[in-house]
Amino acid sequence: MGRLRQKGKAGAAKAYVTRSAAIKKLQCSLADFRRLCILKGIFPREPKSRKRANKGSSAPTSFYYAKDIAYLAHEPVLKKLREHKAFAKKLSRALGRGEWSSAKNLEENKPVYTLDHIIKDRYPTFIDALRDIDDALCMIFLFASLPSNPRIPPSLIENCSRLAAEWQLFVMRSGALRKAFLSIKGVYYQAEIMDQTVTWLVPYQFTQNIPIDVDVRVMLTFLELYQTLLGFVFFKLYTDAELVYPPPLDIKKDELAAGVGAYLLQETSQKQPKPAAPKAKVVEVEGRQVSGKDVYKTIKTLASSPSDSNDMDVDSNAEMGSKDSGEEFVVQPSKSDALTTSLPTLQSLEALPQSVNAALFAPYTLWLSRETSRPIFEFLVRSFGGRIGWPSSSGGGSPFDESDNSVTHVIIDRPVTEQIQETEEQRTRRLKRKYIQPQWIVDCINAGKILLEAPYAPGETLPPHLSPFGEYEGAYDPAVTTSGDNLVAGDEEEESEEEDVEVEDAEEEMADGNVLKAVLSAAPEDEAVLRAAELAAEAAGIDPTAFEKEVAKSQRRSKKKESASSSAAAEVAETDMNKMMMSNKQKKLYEKVKHSQNKRNLERSKLEDRKKIIQKQKRKAERNP
Amino acid sequence: MAVDGRNSKKRKQHEHEEQLDTFKVAEMEMLSDEEDGNNIESDDGEVDEFPELDPASDEADSEEEDADVGEDEGEVEEGSDTDSLEEEIHIFPKSKTIISDITGHEKRVYPEIEPDYDSDSSTEDTSNRVGNIPMHWYDDLPHVGYDMDGKTVLKPAQGDELDRFLKTVEDPTSWTSAFDKKAQADKPLTAEELDLIRRLYTNEVPDATYDPYEPMVEWFTGKGKQEVMPLSAAPEPKRRFVPSKWEHIKIMKIVRAIRQGRIVPNKPATAQPQFYAIWNESPSSHAPPLPAPKPPLPTNSESYNPPEEYLPTEEDKKQWEEADPEDRERDYLPQKHSALRLVPGYDRFIKERFNRQLDLYMAPRVQRVKLNIDPDSLIPKLPSPNSLKPFPIYKSLKFSHSNMVRCIGVSPDGAWVVSGDESGFVRLWEVNVGKEVKRWKLVGKIGSLEWCPRLDVSYFVVGTEDMVHFMVPPNLSPQVLQLTQSILAPSTLPPSPETPSPVKWTTPSSASWTEDIAIVTVHVPASSGLTTQLAWHCRGDYLASVSAGGSQGTVWIHQVSRRHSQAPFKKVRGKVQAVLFHPVKPHFFVATQQYVRMYNLSEQKLLKTLQPGIKWISSMDVHPSGNHLIVGGYDRKLCWFDLELSDKPYKVLRYHTRAIRSLHFHPTYPLFASSSDDGAIQIFHSRIYNDLMTDPLIVPLKILRGHEVHNGLGVLQIKWCNRHPWLVSGGADGAVNVWCS
């Protein structure tokens, strides 16, 4: 006999801890525990038997792995949180006593935690991090669009919008954008970076109000993590693309609300040698730090006195690079420059997959009219190599103005109005340009080619905008207009004809073949009916041989149908019987799969039916307007 | 008093006294501990005595300089007895000690109590003497209480709203009056009360007489009250005036560090780079944590301009709005906008982001293998029934009884069928055409029928209430009839067994016997009930019968040749449902409600207990090879046992919708059938391979429907015809059907 096993010493009772037990063990508050869990990515687990995991109690609790909690217990952030608690106490005491100097001293030595090690822990490789930035990007874009309030400081919003701009700049530069989708929730974008698809959602530009049932603290904790994560990811992406990170901000442009255009992409100079790995880090970091910091400075000094730019070598190099690249990439990607600019891009971005149609809009110059959203379309068009300009009411930094002759397309989103007065120049300009609605851009991107502009002309009813992400296999596809559609059409013809029969009973203009068909389809087997049909055919003046042929055909058809149906029925019965031999487990699985299949089929058929009805209605409306 | 006297001396005397005291203390210390307490008392006594002398001189002094007296007095009281003093200050008004004119002794005089607001309220003059009670008790009464003499105090006239208003206008004092509950009338407030209200209103001290800025009385400090003498006589320790050596060492350490530049005081915080190449080092060997599942990508219905078929109808909208947010399939309703500029902001954006985050950190995650299988691949691939012909397909004839047919027997040559119904009729008919040849009427229900498996003789047994009848069919060839008679009713009866058996075998005399009556009747003990089952041994000599009566089913084994019956089991655990002889070996199966036990009759021991897992076994049958057993139960299960393998079923099938009633293996064809209360008969192909490694093949072939369900009972018994793949079935609707291939 083995050793006696005590209850609760092994197995689920040992492997899982409840949340309250975990908090007790970590000696922190619930809020701190939550924060730690968010930062460390620890989530509750579902034990196989809740009772066994909770020492016989079936009370509703959440369980964590005991190992996860043990792992949290060694977390430096937890230590810092404890220190912060002590600090808060000390500070409040000092303030209460009016000991200002000691309060100041305390404030200076306030414990601050960093999340670098957590990022490294959670994402051991860069690919891991890249795979997980979807949520981070969504949050960053959301917070970049939020108004500041006492709980959300403006500095946070500023940082979020900076990160958002950095990401957009990178995507534009690397041509990584693949798909976009205008949904009712916002705009979905999908980019492909290092073979990882990154999808993010950007809300439309409206003021968002934080609902009361949303805990902002949780969101801010997530945001804290996401900011750090994105910072490191962007650093890696930029440095791999031989760009300076963070990209310097052109304050003048930013004040003019240039948005993304306010940041300058700066290439790190080619001359700088790349030392071996361990040393390189330090040097690189230093170099980056210096350039990153001083570029701001130099920009400021440049603004005041342009000649005064004899800083460190690195700086001037970086500055030069930035100027060039900025002009090339951000402001004027003209056709002549395209080659020279694309060369270093290809060189530097070997790792990144180049899209076949990354230069979809390269031959075109687009103009955004003032009612369209600039951030969306500037990003979309520039990611696909197009030039785009906008009126100053949409923000500064437009590379050209409306009267520019190179404009080929105008994105316009307003109802058609009569052109009251038009100068000759305006008229020629109008005729030279193509006017399209904004959906054209997105549909072109998703189709991977330039679509015809006519259906997207202003005032036209737009074709439906479909999701480029697709649905599950075998789902209803609204774009399909093949055999099924024809069948539908045929059915409808018949139906409509039947209707006609009903309506215009007096009219005798029906096709003879249809009479026959109708009669024969009713009862081809029944002799009496056949006889009657023959008579009717004679009366209608149809050739008797033709009638016989028709009869033979219909009989053959019906026989075939019958035999097919009987054999099918037999097969169904057979499979039904074979189901008896399934084990219970298999039976359940089968039922489950069948259930989901049926549900899908039902959904699909519902949509198909609706489409039929809509088409029918449309046809009717066309026929008798 | 005495203490006062002592202390109200002049400074010199005082000091002198103190010296004396200390001296005394010193003396005291030299005394032994025992005398300590007494000594103090005596000490007190001395002190008490001492001042007795003083007052006169003191008085004399005080008469000379009045101011001094007051001061001294203050000193005195403070120095002497702080406790009593404090009490005097806080609780009672200060008392004065004066010499009484009458007695000439000292006496304390307290100040007169002023009857102002903080004094005793009992002096107030109120006519109403009800006390501190809720005044609403008098709401319904004409009076508001009682005065000192016990007479009612009437409520003053109240006046209506107009009166009240007029009063406020006319009476200049009305705004300074308040409602007095006791008097039930407005009373003007006194000047003091108004002042009090004003003070409360302006956050002043409510008491007008209280002066918060009284000059401080220096009780303990001030001139002449400094402590002169040290509390301890110990000399000042050195550490008080010599700088600490250890502190010096520590400070020097820091100083040296500063000099050497190891510590930079007031160094500005160096700005660490916020971001750096974190992934440049090789990653740790730990597997990365599982990434969180990504949210599903948007589908067509989420488009701002979806195809029209995606738009919800009114019903869909209503359904969506009525459903709980958790139950909704989508978290939005598809909408169609004709232009992008018309798309409004999405109001649940933040909420959805928040929910996603809650999912990320609060939802338990389980890794599930996603099954991507074709459900049809789960259905086992079995040979087509068409390739396994022959088996019964259609109903060839129907033979009707007037009552429920419980049992059928098929002759070993497969040409004749006997069927017995509940009204006691046993009818013999021909399988091919369904012509009835003979009918017998027995007493009570017919519980079971079984044809003797021997081919050289021809008779069948009928089980009724407490009896088993041996019947001989008509129209037999003479040899067969003779042999049958010689077996069943030999001219010389075998010797009766030594031990008397409770079972009686009776035979009518050979002269009186006709085909209408049983040739042999076996009387099992009375009250053992209806014989529900009869089972022949394959040789046709032994017959086992199961009776339903009593708490436990009674099993008897009858031996025809010896006309002897015996009970094989003294006691059977559980109610016996069915018994069977093994076709080859001397084994015997007994099915109780939940178990099937297999006995070796020759060795008289239990071989195996099979556990089919059925709640209530209804029937069983053994394969002609003897290696496989099927057991059917009222809980719709059919279990297939391979007797050479486990005690647990090899296969459990559940396909009937109601209880299984009967099972039968075809003696020659690889077929078996089961019948159920749902009125269906299920035919199976069951191939058993000689090779022990191959599992038996069971293929469902056909479901035969043709019996009606009657009172919840369907097909009660089925039997195969021996030489043909034909099936005979008897149902609760009184029909006996023959199913042919």
In which band, very low, low, confident or very high, does the pLDDT at A4 lie, cut at 50, 70 and 90? Answer: confident
Distance from CA of B716 to the nearest CA of A (A): 22
From B191, B208, B225, give the residue that closes a domain. Answer: B225
What pLDDT is attached to residue A7?
82
Whether residue B449 is found in the same domain as residue B556: yes
pTM of the model: 0.62
What pLDDT is attached to residue A303?
45
Tens of pLDDT, residue by residue over B197-227, are 999 999 988 888 888 888 888 888 878 787 7
Q: Does A135 touch chain B (CB under 8 A)?
A: yes
Which residue among A206, A246, A614 places its CB closest to the CB of B308?
A614
The residue among A157, A389, A398, A167 whose CA lies nearest residue A265 is A167
Whether residue B733 is found in the same domain as residue B624: yes
Residue A121 exposure: Cα atoms within 13 Å on the Cβ side: 14
DSSP state of A5: P
Cα–Cα distance measured from residue B257 to residue B250, given in angstroms and rounded to the nearest whole number? 11
In a domain, B311, yes or no: no
Whether residue B56 is found in the same domain as residue B133: no
Cα–Cα distance measured from residue B350 to residue B355, given in angstroms and rounded to the nearest whole number? 9
CB contact under 8 A, B305 and A465: yes
Cα–Cα distance measured from residue B679 to residue B658, given in angstroms and rounded to the nearest whole number? 9
CATH topology of domain A365-417+425-456: Rossmann fold (3.40.50)
> Where in the sequence is the domain holding B201, given as residue range(s)?
129-225
Q: Is the pLDDT of residue A251 over 80?
A: yes
Which conformational region is residue A195 in: left (phi greater than 0), alpha (psi within -120 to 50 degrees), or beta?
A: left
What pLDDT is attached to residue B633?
92
What pLDDT is attached to residue A491?
45
Q: Is the pLDDT of residue B658 over 70?
A: yes
CB contact under 8 A, B339 and A577: no
Question: How does DSSP assign B544-573, residue by residue?
Answer: EEEE--SSS-EEEEEETTTTEEE-S-S--S
Q: Which of A391-395, A559-563, B583-587 is least confident?
A: A559-563
All residues of chain B having their beta carbon less than 8 Å from the beta carbon of residue A235 are 275-278
* Cβ B622 vs Cβ B585: under 8 Å: no
Whether residue B12 is found in the same domain as residue B161: no
CATH number at B734 reads 2.130.10.10
- Which residue reads 């000390």 in tokens? A90
> Any idea where the domains of chain A sit in the sequence?
12-108, 116-348, 365-417+425-456, 514-576
Do strands B617-622 and B628-633 pair parallel, antiparallel, or not at all (unpaired)? antiparallel
Q: Does A71 touch chain B (CB under 8 A)?
A: no
Whether residue B424 is found in the same domain as residue B493: yes
Whether residue B639 is found in the same domain as residue B494: yes
Whether residue B512 is found in the same domain as residue B588: yes
Amino acid identity, position B67:
A
Q: Which of A135, A183, A289 is best to mutate for the B interface (most B CBs within 10 A)? A: A183
Whether residue B691 is found in the same domain as residue B589: yes
Distance from CA of B630 to the nearest CA of A (A): 15
From B80, B110, B138, give the residue that closes a domain. Answer: B80
Q: Does A128 touch chain B (CB under 8 A)?
A: yes
Q: Does B277 touch chain A (CB under 8 A)?
A: yes
For B270, which residue in chain A has the nearest alpha carbon?
A: A289
Size of interface A-B (CB pairs under 8 A): 253
- Which residue reads 């004679």 in tokens? A538
Tens of pLDDT, residue by residue over B278-316, are 898 887 777 888 889 999 999 999 999 999 889 999 999
Which 299-328 residues of chain B touch chain A by CB within 8 A? Answer: 299-300, 302-310
Max Cα–Cα distance, chain A, nearest Å: 117
Residue A139 C-alpha from the chain's centroid: 13
Q: Which of A135-149, A205-219, B43-57, B368-382 is least confident?
A: B43-57
The residue among A3, A11, A6, A4 whose CA lies nearest residue A51 is A11
In a domain, B56, yes or no: yes
The residue among B578, B406, B700 whose CA lies nearest residue A577 is B700
Whether residue B76 is found in the same domain as residue B177: no
DSSP state of B595: -
CB contact under 8 A, B382 and A580: no
Overall number of domains in chain B: 3
Whether residue B455 is found in the same domain as residue B599: yes
Per cent of chain A over pLDDT 70 is 77
CB contact under 8 A, A478 and B307: yes
From B225, B242, B276, give the residue that closes a domain. Answer: B225
* Cβ A39 vs Cβ A222: under 8 Å: no
Cα-based angle A88, A92, A93 (whole degrees, multiple of 5): 115
Which residue among A42, A371, A464 places its CB closest to the CB of B306?
A464
- The tokens for A296 are 């701001």
In a domain, B323, yes or no: no
Tens of pLDDT, residue by residue over A18-76, are 999 999 999 999 999 999 999 999 999 999 899 989 888 888 999 999 999 999 999 99
| Terminal C-alpha separation, chain A | 92
Do strands A409-411 and A365-368 pair parallel, antiparallel, or not at all (unpaired)? parallel
CB contact under 8 A, A611 and B307: yes
Whether residue B173 is found in the same domain as residue B68: no
Overall size of chain B counted in residues: 741
Whether residue B613 is found in the same domain as residue B484: yes
The residue among A42, A192, A195, A66 whose CA lies nearest residue A122 is A42
Pick the residue with more confidence: B52 or B192? B192
Which 137-176 residues of chain A touch chain B by CB within 8 A? Answer: 138-139, 142
The residue among B355, B350, B318 whose CA lies nearest residue B333 is B318
The residue among A45, A44, A41 whose CA lies nearest residue A118 is A41
In a domain, B307, yes or no: no
Mean pLDDT of chain B: 80
In a domain, B696, yes or no: yes
Tens of pLDDT, residue by residue over A502-557, are 444 444 444 444 555 555 555 455 566 677 777 777 777 767 777 777 777 777 77
Q: Does A435 touch chain B (CB under 8 A)?
A: no
In a domain, B260, yes or no: no
